[in-house]
Chains A and B, each alone.
Chain A
């Protein structure tokens, strides 16, 4: 097993990955704590939730890459799984506010506002962190499993599947927007105070959450890498390329697709759960069809079919988004729109593809010489 894992990457690859991992998990906190604030190298407190947010998106990008880049199934509904994980975490955080809400009630503020007298049944158990964890792991996966089973069984694929998933996220968004659904309606869940007893305002809690995210991203990456390098991963790639032939060769593609679809949803839920305490809010707009499509473009920009590309794309697009929404908010949508067009027209393999192409050109030059 360990041998298998080590063989996932060359020595140089592992060196690079661990370098990044330790830089993020050790160097950044060190630069925050031990470097004086006026120094150039100082990492300010606000960086941690921001970087944490990007890393959550990176986990999402891994999930989307597994299902789209490797298996060829474009999902335009991954925002749903992300939001599900987020809501489960949010519900735990809401319950742990206790009586410190605006209304000093045991119930979450929005329920007091709606004049509800007691907790709805689906909120039971969220006082306990282990239960919330269980839900975070179970619900997105289970929902994806059921949805995927019916969709894949009737061999819905390609554009059909994409627009059905889009309709799914649209419908759920509408559902969560309702106040009666019991998840805070429009405003969603917010005003969190603490997690596991630690204040969320505290810089050290934020740093811990960040380190947690780094670690889980690392873990997700290794598992994803393990999957795509295994025989399972090869079947998935084959399904992407010619599904009919895979079926004729005796594989039941339903099982493979269902597995990777569910796993991908599970990763997304995890990312959502890490995202909520760091950003401090979860609301139904996370389920907007636009958000899910953006997830696909992260992967496309970085380069689909490579895990590294997905991570890179999530980072590049979101940093660009942060910059644009401050510097030129009117032009962000132009940038994003043109990014969609340019990447699909000219960079089918994304940024990673550029370096490959350059390398090939170089090889050709060497050969020519």
Chain B
């Protein structure tokens, strides 16, 4: 049984103890380190907090120092408080707590945590600042904003600096320029530098500045450059250096040239945008005019109905599905189409059908319909304009050039119109309804003899045309307010599109609409909007002297009546 010895108790080894010691030591050290670090950061945070609280100090000089230091610290958390101080929305409670008030000063949030504070029980005082503080404030704000991670905030800060550049921000701009990796912001910062250097004495730097302005500058730099070319009473230049004067002149020239180019691009874009809306408005008009030879004066009201349908859908979403609000527009597309189309079909069935062969009477009757529709909408929704909000994906825009913004809503409309026109074209060319529509357009009697139910074709086509106008209304609701008179504003222009483009071919309507839209926008800056319209009208009358049936008439031998 010698084997049955209890196993020897393990002897605690020395090394084990030393390990424990080390562990304790390490823990102690680490915790000490941790304590140290936290204490530093706490002291920094305390520093930040106390500085921030100093903004509410009664002494202006302390506010000033706090503002300066906050700017140097570079902590963007201070932005709301500084902004509030600038806009006089910052106030202090008796305990020294900073509160940011809203515009109407009915609600407030804490400056540090952004939490809502009940201000009714608080006795608030506003820190008073003077111009000297305000100057420091702007600089500090600019500094903090240039440090921001948000690209848009940085860009805004840079543009703010450009507006009121002074040599005091030189260092700030230079350091930000080094860090900056966004080209747009870099450009603006370079311009700020150029503006500052231009006021300096170093000739090389001045010329370099002028070149920078020449490269990136916009219209705002005219006055700066023209200052360099001014003469005094004796006819001598204020600016003695001819080299600088020459480069300034050439910079002015190239800015002007660029501006003209940019303006043309903007005109083209806005012209296309107007044209595409006109196209939506006129497409249905042209199809029904080609098909039945009647002008529907109530067609503008189909736009209005589409726009109000969008408005109603928006409100329904706001009420019942606020989470999905941004997608109301997608739902509104079929609804606006259908509501206008249904109204159109009703009109066709009950009124226009009975006036077949009497186009002028149809014109008057549809005018009467439009009066009734407008008045109905006015009594239902009120005579005031209503607002339809852009969903987030259509708000804002893309800046194509310096100062030229293409709103997303307008870009979306152009894309949408391309889509609709393609759909209509496919419908007319590739479906049996399209074939019937085309045959009735060409020769109603013959088509009828071939067994086509012209009445049915009329009805569906009228509904289709009205529905397209409804889509136009949806598009219009995204770029402006919606009112009972919405249709009236576009109807005369869309008639002109039909006159210009001729009937029976989509290409004619497209050319007419885009042509009128673009010409209008190009004439506007030259002659003013009103004269532009008149010129367009005269041009149209002149044009139909040459081509009475419009630009793209159907070829055929039919006698005009």
Contacts and interface: CB of A to CB of B under 8 A. Distances in A.
A242 B561 CA distance: 9
A289 interface: yes
Contact of A337 (B363, B368, B534, B545): B368
B221 interface: no
B364 A289 contact: no
B560 interface: yes
A345 B358 CA distance: 10
Interface in A28-63: none
A174 B534 contact: yes
A337 B544 contact: no
B531 to A, nearest CB: 8
B530 interface: yes
A293 B367 contact: yes
A167 B496 contact: yes
Given A293-B364, A334-B375, A345-B351, A175 B534 contact: yes
Contacts of A172: 534
A178 B561 CA distance: 40
A155 B560 contact: yes
B499 interface: yes
A74 B365 contact: no
Interface in A184-201: none
A337 to B, nearest CB: 3
A159 B361 CA distance: 10
A74 B368 contact: no
B492 A154 contact: no
A171 B533 contact: yes
Contact of B499 (A153, A155, A160, A244): A160
A328 to B, nearest CB: 12
Contact of A159 (B293, B372, B379, B540): B293
Nearest to A296: B364
Contacts of A330: 375, 379
B548 interface: yes
With a 10 A CB-CB cut-off, give which of A153, A171, A300, A334 has the most chain B CB atoms: A171
A163 interface: yes
B265 interface: no
Contacts of B40: none
With a 10 A CB-CB cut-off, give which of B364, B499, B540, B541 has the most chain A CB atoms: B364
Interface string A197-221: 0000000000000000000000000
A51 B289 CA distance: 41
B368 A338 contact: yes
A154 B530 CA distance: 26
A156 interface: yes
Interface in B516-561: 528, 530-531, 533-534, 537, 540-542, 544-545, 548, 559-561
Given A171-B534, A345-B355, A333 B548 contact: no
Contact of B365 (A164, A167, A168, A341): A341
A162 interface: yes
A348 interface: yes
Nearest to A288: B488
Contacts of B371: 333-334, 336-337, 340
B374 interface: yes
Nearest to B354: A345
B289 A159 contact: yes
B548 A156 contact: yes
Contact of A174 (B364, B533, B544, B560): B533
A344 interface: yes
A130 interface: no
Contacts of A336: 368, 371
A170 to B, nearest CB: 5
A125 interface: no
Interface residues of B, number: 44
Contacts of A341: 351, 365, 368-369, 372
A177 interface: yes
A297 B540 CA distance: 28
A164 B367 CA distance: 16
Contacts of A159: 289, 293-295, 359-360, 363
Nearest to B536: A171
Contacts of A163: 295, 492, 495-496, 498-499
Contacts of B358: 344, 348
A68 B368 CA distance: 18
A172 B538 CA distance: 12
A339 interface: yes
A177 B533 CA distance: 13
What is the predominant secondary structure among interface residues of chain A facing chain B?
A: helix
A237 to B, nearest CB: 16
Interface string B174-189: 0000000000000000
Given A163-B295, A166-B495, A338-B372, A150 B363 contact: no
What is the predominant secondary structure among interface residues of chain B facing chain A?
A: helix
A168 B537 contact: yes
Nearest to B368: A340
Contacts of A338: 368, 372
A170 B492 contact: yes
Nearest to A158: B359
A175 B294 CA distance: 29
A366 B492 CA distance: 52
A167 B495 contact: yes
Contacts of B530: 174-175, 177-178
Interface string A303-337: 00000000000000000000000000010011011
Contacts of B545: 150, 153-154
Interface in A88-107: none
Given A74-B360, A293-B367, A171 B375 contact: no
A296 B559 CA distance: 28
Contacts of B370: 337
A199 to B, nearest CB: 37
Contacts of A139: none
A354 to B, nearest CB: 17
With a 10 A CB-CB cut-off, give which of B368, B530, B542, B545 has the most chain A CB atoms: B368
Contacts of B293: 159
A348 B351 contact: no
A340 B365 contact: yes
A244 B537 contact: no
A345 to B, nearest CB: 6
A355 B498 CA distance: 40
Contacts of A74: 360, 363
A164 to B, nearest CB: 7
A127 to B, nearest CB: 29
Nearest to B531: A175
Contacts of A24: none
Nearest to A177: B530
Nearest to A181: B530
Contacts of B367: 293, 340
A238 interface: no
With a 10 A CB-CB cut-off, give which of B530, B533, B560 has the most chain A CB atoms: B530
B526 to A, nearest CB: 15
B363 A164 contact: no
B87 to A, nearest CB: 38
A333 B544 CA distance: 35
- 4 nearest A-B residue pairs (beta carbon): A340-B368, A337-B371, A337-B372, A333-B375
Given A158-B561, A159-B359, A345-B351, 18 more contacts: A72-B360, A154-B544, A154-B548, A155-B548, A159-B289, A166-B495, A171-B537, A242-B561, A243-B561, A300-B361, A337-B370, A339-B368, A340-B365, A340-B368, A341-B351, A341-B369, A344-B355, A348-B361
15 contacts: A68-B360, A154-B548, A155-B560, A159-B289, A160-B499, A163-B496, A164-B540, A167-B495, A167-B496, A172-B534, A178-B530, A333-B372, A341-B351, A341-B365, A344-B355
Interface of B: 289, 293-295, 351, 354-355, 358-365, 367-372, 374-375, 379, 492, 495-496, 498-499, 528, 530-531, 533-534, 537, 540-542, 544-545, 548, 559-561
